[in-house]
Structure 1
């Protein structure tokens, strides 16, 4: 790592030619392919700090583009897991140790500083932080391709997962499962997910940007509650979303006002955050061998007694949560 950073610092001080830096990067990538993520992060940070020209950034970034095209699920390459380690220690069979793809907390870890204007993967530009939870933060961002194509709305929401979440041994499984649940649940009252990716060891989920406010805030603004007539469209939207999830064999299992987004202008509610959702069929749960509830994200106030007793998930768990949210909507309490 130090060898690489010394070379980069020398380049920035104009003590090293760009061609020499390119050669060193190419050599490092051949020896240790997985370090492309850290190179990408470092380049992005330097670009945002205006320490690299557009030409230098493009030239250096082009070196890692072939590696970035590797799918998330691709089996890891073998090689060193440390910068500048040209002679990685061999395992007992004489081969280099494999990259632990399933443990993000063990990856090369260069802290990503999220800030307005930061370019992510050359595809998204961060605008503002719009939410924070136990698993990470959510930013409003611009999809640069959509913006270039003059789309009517080029905004997306990007959910960056926290260091604490990464420390969980099943973090990667949780993210992949959550992403596939979103792709499976195509419904007008459920938020859409566009992609799952990572920058260095930081995972992020790119999602539909929702206009409006969390239902929790909407309820706070109506302390005396809504009439049944005004609340009915919101209740129907939530019920339709949960019914669709149940038809697809998925229980949300964390249904609460924080996980519903409401747009007062269009009077449309959308359900979000299927982070601890689980298959309702026992056979599917056996196949995954992973329980999202083990991440400890359950909200007791909206959980049924059966959930608190850690019994098998059921559609009625979500119905109970929906009843709690409906009560708050009508009473304001």
Structure 2
């Protein structure tokens, strides 16, 4: 949802480890094995008779996001009638339950009303083209991966704390309502003009028991992750949990503090084999009181990752210890 236009050259230059890996398992039922469905037509210039597509903003594991003009709002004189529109990619849209999964993203994110979570407006289907799409707020600003490219040595604590608190607040709020993100990484967080936004819940799921009738991403059929931010248990085929979100967010926070991925850009499985967790050290710009909590959140073993996003938030909210008592003691 960034206003930065992504052209073919910039997409081709994106590191593979930054991309969501979205593989269709060999057992996945493809359309040919199902009842025939109408072939999708090209993306129309106007979706739903209302949203005029202007340009591509970005692509992800399931689909693409476009800048669009809401012709109805424009007709009634809205001076800022622009929205973001998310549609499924052509390859993914061919699967019979793809539209249901896009609706699942809408149903999950629409439950969230938080200043640091992207706002969704609606879910619709363009009948002539048979394309489902979401409408959501159009964000302008830098994503965290763009910020990191400009700040290769990481952020000073004053900036890091502000970003960390907003991001941890968004995630802990999502978890408190039973919503798991599933694909936390720097490119899914934006420093918008009016504050940080966590977005793209396309690979998210509700916790067990919440919204039982909602379609879910079946990980026996679809394997979805971004390798360098995926918890080890996800790579081993376990279901998505809040603990997996915590691992991904811990990787992001470490990267913001140091300018480097905690495990040399390796996946958790590769990093465990290389025993890179034994080489972890506190980033210089991260206060000492935050390190034990962040180190726990980076544990490969889910059972040892015994910290929640809410607990991490409380740690990062703590002010730096005052130096006055030590100074007074020395001068006394």
**TM-score when normalising by structure 1:** 0.62
Q: Which residue of 1 aligns with 2:186?
A: 257
In 2, Cα distance between the equivalents of 1:212 and 1:233? 16
- Partner secondary structure for residue 77 of structure 2: coil
Q: CA deviation at 1:272?
A: 0.7
In 2, Cα distance between the equivalents of 1:330 and 1:292? 35
Q: Which residue of 2 aligns with 1:296?
A: 223
Alignment of 1:1-333 (within 5 A): 106-112=37-43, 118-199=45-126, 200-263=129-192, 265-266=193-194, 268-281=195-208, 283-284=209-210, 287-288=213-214, 290-293=216-219, 294-333=221-260
Q: CA deviation at 1:172?
A: 2.3
In 2, Cα distance between the equivalents of 1:216 and 1:232? 17
Return the structure number with greater relative CO, CA threshold 8 A, min gap 6: 2
Q: 1:153–1:105: structure 2 CA closer, same or farther, 3 Å change rule?
A: farther
1 or 2, which has the higher helix percentage? Answer: 1
**TM-score when normalising by structure 2:** 0.62
In 2, Cα distance between the equivalents of 1:246 and 1:239? 10
In 2, Cα distance between the equivalents of 1:226 and 1:204? 36
In 1, Cα distance between the equivalents of 2:234 and 2:135? 30
In 2, Cα distance between the equivalents of 1:312 and 1:305? 11
- Partner secondary structure for residue 109 of structure 1: coil
Gaps of 5+ in 1: 1-99
In 2, Cα distance between the equivalents of 1:175 and 1:324? 27
Gaps of 5+ in 2: 1-30, 261-332
In 2, Cα distance between the equivalents of 1:105 and 1:190? 38
Please say if residues 108 and 205 of structure 2, whose CA atoms lie closer than 8 Å, have aligned partners that are also in contact: no
Q: CA deviation at 1:242?
A: 0.6
Please say if residues 104 and 166 of structure 1, whose CA atoms lie closer than 8 Å, have aligned partners that are also in contact: no
Q: How far does the alpha carbon of each residue in 1:92-139 deviate from its partner, in whole angstroms, 9 at most, with x for none?
A: xxxxxxxx9xx89712433235xxxx3333312222211122322211
Q: How far does the alpha carbon of each residue in 1:155-212 deviate from its partner, in whole angstroms, 9 at most, with x for none?
A: 1001121111112343122112111011111111111111122231222211111111
- Partner secondary structure for residue 173 of structure 2: helix
- Partner secondary structure for residue 297 of structure 1: strand
Report the structure number with the largest CA radius of gyration. 1
Q: 1:132–1:290: structure 2 CA closer, same or farther, 3 Å change rule?
A: closer
Q: 1:289–1:172: structure 2 CA closer, same or farther, 3 Å change rule?
A: closer
- Partner secondary structure for residue 174 of structure 2: helix
Q: 1:288–1:181: structure 2 CA closer, same or farther, 3 Å change rule?
A: closer
Over aligned residues, Cα RMSD in angstroms? 2.3
Q: 1:169–1:119: structure 2 CA closer, same or farther, 3 Å change rule?
A: closer
Q: Which residue of 1 aligns with 2:281?
A: none
In 1, Cα distance between the equivalents of 2:211 and 2:224? 18
In 1, Cα distance between the equivalents of 2:100 and 2:49? 26
